[in-house]
Amino acid sequence: MTYDVPVAPGETAELQESIEDATEGWPMWEVFVRARRGISHVHIGSLHAPDARTALQNARDVYTRRGEGISVWVVPSAEVHAFEPEAAADYVEANEKVYRLATTYEIPEEVGQM
């Protein structure tokens, strides 16, 4: 498909200097939407806005045009914290402790459903 439109020889796709615009100072926000009652908010995308109120309005316009959400959360991207990728393996439990799983226990059939 022509989104990978060929680059002509000698053409560079690097920027020489940065942009000057009012939006340069706008932080990025992560957007979470609860689609309907009974289910959790789900991360759906991100946007830039100067403050929380504008972020909420823009999130509504971009992500809920078809009634896809009854609740919208916006969180500054800088406030979303995660383990460093290299360290994740140390912190996130591996699947070694099978005794945590119900399926490792044998319950005789005559006992009935358990």
Partner 1 sequence: MAPEDRFQAIIEAEEKIEPSDWMPEGYRKTLIRQIAQHAHSEVIGMQPEGNWITRAPSLHRKAILIAKVQDEAGHGLYLYSATETLGVKRNDLQELLHQGKHKYSSIFNYPTLTWADMGTIGWLVDGAAITNQVMLTRCSYGPYSRAMVRICKEESFHQRQGYELLIKLCSGAPEQRAMAQDALNRWWWPSLMMFGPNDSDSIHTEQSMQWKIKRVSNDDLRQQFVDMTVPQAEYLGLRIPDPELAWNEERGHYDFGEIDWEEFWQVVKGNGPMNRDRIEHKTRAWDEGAWVRAAATAHAAKRAAAAA
Residue 61: which of 51, 77, 72 has the closest Cα? 72
Single-letter residue type at 95: N
- 9, 22, 90, 98: which one contacts partner 1 (CB under 8 A)? 22
Three-state SS at 32: strand
* C-beta of 62 vs 107, nearer to partner 1: 62
**19 contacts partner 1 (rule: CB under 8 A):** yes
Three-state SS at 79: helix
Stretch that binds partner 1, among 2-10, 32-40, 94-102, 106-114 (CB under 8 A): 2-10
| C-beta of residue 74 within 8 angstroms of C-beta of residue 59 | yes
Question: What is the pattern of x (binds partner 1, CB under 8 A) and - over residues 52-91?
Answer: -xx------xx--xx---------------x--x--x---
Measured in whole angstroms, the distance separating CA 22 from the mean position of its chain's CA atoms is 26
- 34, 35, 41, 48: which one contacts partner 1 (CB under 8 A)? 48
Q: How many CB atoms lie within 10 A of CB 21?
A: 8
* C-beta of 5 vs 39, nearer to partner 1: 5
